[in-house]
Structure 1
Amino acid sequence: MRALMVGYNEGALAALDAHPDEFEVWVLEEPDLWRNKGLQKKADAHPVLAETVFAPYQQSTGYREALAGLPRFDAVAAGLEYAVPAAADLAERLDLPGAGSQAASILRNKLRLREATAAAGMRCPEFREVASAAEVSAFHSAGPCVVKPAERQASLGVTLLGPGDDPERAWEAALGADEGVQLAERDMRWQYMAERRLEGPEYSTEVLVFEGETRFLNVTRKECFPGSRPVEAGHLLPVDSGSDRWERAVADLVAAVGFSSGILHAEWIDTDPGPTLVEVAGRPPGDFIVDLIDRAWGVDLHRLWLRMLAGEDIAAPRSPRGGAAIRFLRSEPGTIAAVEGAETVAERDEVWKADVTKKPGDRVADVQSSWDRVGCVATVGADAETARALAVEAASHITVTVEGAQQ
């Protein structure tokens, strides 16, 4: 099978490397991202990666010109968040299964997502588009709220505002969201929004959908670091497995946005009336959630995803075989002086990943987005809670020493 992946996804390529006789992957990537992220060296390590095509796709349709002269593809997949609309459009142009262009555009804009799901009768907090600190302040005056960019990723620029918090600082955080090498070097257009804060535990659902019908459903519990920036501190799965309420919530979401085929990673808050949608991504989840799913369910989710995008009505497991969890590491702001304990932790039987992504000499900022975390520990266990306890305990043995802490 020859698949076109729009947006370079290291995790997906690593997983598909296990099937070199089954898949031939071509990657379409922005030239700026390829250069600035240093992707060539990583790409060379993947036997499944056949060719790279360079073309713009972030808020651009320039990729359409790249189709001329390319071979026939059996599947088109979105590797990254900002590639979702382009992948859906290319799939339609090649008459292949996909999200659908209308659904993809809804998924990429949290304002449009709120409008679509509210119109379909799904639970929805009060929300509005904002374009100034004064508009944020007016919305905040009626109660606690969340201020965020409507089209960003990785919790970037998201601020929780409670009583007495400064709306102007929240607006500045949203407006000043900086993704560095994650964006192409050209002007982009952004929208911003405010919505009422929801109270309750946080979850995500990871779903394979084929022609509007659910073929696989996992439920993950999400934990965030304390503070005004809701950045993920960890995940554990599967939880609440087999619950009809999640089946219903996912079915309502698929119908509301008109999603056809692909993977959906939806985030929810379990309020008193039931699961209330926060946001949705039409691509594989980050934070190693797919790796957690593979280990807990005994499945190869990336493989099933591509086979489904090639038109195959896949069969997936209906019950897990265990649990898995991940705990992310943070440090005080400053310059890293030393990292200790990761190698010892990695030797434990229950640990399948212990990684510190920063090294001595690196500057570390306070955790404002997912990019500011310094590493992670991932574990397996008999169930989700057992795996979580193992991850938390293992993470406590990794020490990141920082000097010159910021005031």
Structure 2
Amino acid sequence: MPNVAVINYGPKSDYAAMLPELADVLHVYSHNALANTDGFAEYEHVEDCEFVPYAELRIRELAKKAPFSHLITDNEYDLERAARIREDLGIPGQSAASALSFRDKAVMKQVASRTVRTPRYARLHTIVDLTDFVAEAGYPVVVKPVKQGGSRDISVLRGEEDLVAFSRRHWREDLMAEEFVDGQMYHVDAVIAPGYRFVASSRYVRSCLGVFSGHNNGSLQLHPEDKFAVRLEEFFDRVLDAFETPEVSAYHLEVFHTPDDELVLCEIASRVGGDRIPALTRATYGVDLHATWLRQSCDLPVPPAPAGVPDKVHGSISILPQGRPVKAPGRPPFEWVHHYEVNEALAPDAVTQNSTSHLCFVIVEGADLAEVEQRVLQAEAWLMENLEEAAGA
């Protein structure tokens, strides 16, 4: 009989809707409070669940009475914990070694370098490791935590002045340095399972790091018949060839396309991409990335992967918090706007915290990447021109 443990982060996750066949055997421990949980076998909103070990302790205690058939999470920061519990309790799914290789960016690059080009990198134990790496690789150099996400806590050192400024910050024990790779960044989003394969490619509107200097960002889907989309999918397969992969998984790959036409791995994660990526995928392909991944992880059926070619693709742009009280305008007045949403939970004077921070976002549709990009930039310009000063400004 199925018995399913869930470690959740997302505030909008609806497991009763995604896994209705299993609702009464779900034991859900959630970082954020969830709605629609009445029919679960157990549900607890665990404050700071992402950071505290309570969920793991509780799952291990319950397993002594009734073994779990599945343990799932779609939160990047819980993948290693979930894998460790699975191995200890004999639950099928991603192993601890596999989870580590997709979470630790230094291990990730070591593994991926077997099959694709990766940036030069080094773990940093002291400032001397950083100065040695700068001497070898030259500026600019990217410094980041090995297990962080959402472009958080990343620094780009472009010269000695930046290095000195960085040396005045509190040192962290989880840092790595890597060479700066010039080029546009693309992402590939996929769900792979026995008898199931869905892969879609997109280009970021701008660098994800640009949000920290005030640049709005989003994604532009490539048409699946685009030759570059085919090339990106082939690169994705070569990356996966280097890894120990679970039988069922979602993936989010980020890759640089350099000015000399080379593809270079940035990062790959064994989870669904964030920001507007799931919404864009639903709009174009009708695929719910989270439900497709989690249902197959629990041995439940899903609709076949899309076989036809979509008649349109989509793109998004997220307008950043402005750091001062502003009011987002209404829906942009263009017939090709697919969806528009204001972040009502944002504090009036909020600042950008990570690459998914937003005041509002818009999703547009078009025939191909070029048309979608033109419309995304037009919608962005309209939104920026129509921001209004709010009370308290």
TM-score band, normalised by shorter chain: 0.7 to 0.9
Over aligned residue pairs, what C-alpha RMSD do you find?
3.6
2:81: which partner in 1?
86
SS of 2:306's equivalent in the other structure is coil
- What is the Cα deviation at residue 313 of structure 1? 8.0
1:393 corresponds to 2:365? no
Equivalent of residue 345 in structure 1, options 326, 329, 332: 332
2:238: which partner in 1?
252
- What is the Cα deviation at residue 252 of structure 1? 2.5
2:256: which partner in 1?
269
Equivalent of residue 102 in structure 1, options 97, 104, 115: 97
2:219: which partner in 1?
235
1:307: which partner in 2?
295
Runs of 5+ unmatched residues, structure 1: 177-189
Asked if structure 2 preserves the Cα contact closer than 8 Å seen for 1:97 and 1:310, the reply is no
CA–CA distance in 2 between the matches of 1:379 and 1:51?
A: 40
Q: Any idea what the Cα deviations from partners look like across 1:60-114, whole Å, max 9, x if unmatched?
A: 6970552333656554322211111122234445555423221101111111111
2:133: which partner in 1?
139
Q: Any idea what the Cα deviations from partners look like across 1:161-219, whole Å, max 9, x if unmatched?
A: 3245512334667858xxxxxxxxxxxxx5101111112210111121226x9711111
Asked if structure 2 preserves the Cα contact closer than 8 Å seen for 1:159 and 1:173, the reply is no
The 1:302/1:198 distance shift into structure 2, 3 A limit, reads: same
Asked if structure 2 preserves the Cα contact closer than 8 Å seen for 1:203 and 1:222, the reply is yes
1:193 corresponds to 2:176? yes
Aligned residue pairs: how many?
373
Asked if structure 1 preserves the Cα contact closer than 8 Å seen for 2:272 and 2:289, the reply is no
CA–CA distance in 1 between the matches of 2:256 and 2:196?
A: 21
The 1:318/1:194 distance shift into structure 2, 3 A limit, reads: farther
SS of 1:370's equivalent in the other structure is coil
Equivalent of residue 68 in structure 1, options 57, 61, 70: 61
1:209: which partner in 2?
192
Q: Any idea what the Cα deviations from partners look like across 1:136-160, whole Å, max 9, x if unmatched?
A: 3442342322111111111011122
The 1:403/1:82 distance shift into structure 2, 3 A limit, reads: same
Runs of 5+ unmatched residues, structure 2: none
Structure ranking higher in strand proportion: 1
Q: Percent identity?
A: 20
**Residue type at the aligned position of 1:51:** E
**Residue type at the aligned position of 2:362:** V
CA–CA distance in 1 between the matches of 2:10 and 2:364?
A: 22
CA–CA distance in 2 between the matches of 1:363 and 1:264?
A: 34
- What is the Cα deviation at residue 247 of structure 1? 3.2
Asked if structure 2 preserves the Cα contact closer than 8 Å seen for 1:12 and 1:302, the reply is no
CA–CA distance in 1 between the matches of 2:168 and 2:223?
A: 37
